[in-house]
Amino acid sequence: MAQMPCPSCKKPLGLTFEFIQKNPIMQCPHCKTIMNFSVSPEIEKKMKEGLAEIERIKKKYKGMVKFG
C-alpha cells in the first residue's frame, strides 16, 4: 500500500491512496497545511465552504472558552 508524505513538510501522513481518494481534502497533522488532492471545481468550492465552516467553529469555540 502506497503512502503519501505531506507535500509541505514531507513528514509521513500514514495515509493510503484509498483513504485520500475518499478524503481528497485534509489537513496535515504536523504543519497544518490544507491539502487538496482533488482538482474538481465542485470539490474546491466545498473545500472553501468547509474551511469557512472551520473558521466559524474556531471563532465560536474561542468565544466559548475563556481562561481567567
Where do contacts with Zn ion occur on this chain (CB under 5 A)? 6, 8-9, 28, 30-31, 33
Output the smallest distance, CB 33 to Zn ion, in A: 5
Contacts with 48 (C-beta within 8 Å, 6 or more apart), sequence order:
none
Nearer residue to Zn ion within complex by CB, 29 or 50: 29
Taking alpha carbons only, the member of 53, 40, 10 closest to residue 28 is: 10
Nearer residue to Zn ion within complex by CB, 31 or 54: 31
Output the smallest distance, CB 67 to Zn ion, in A: 29
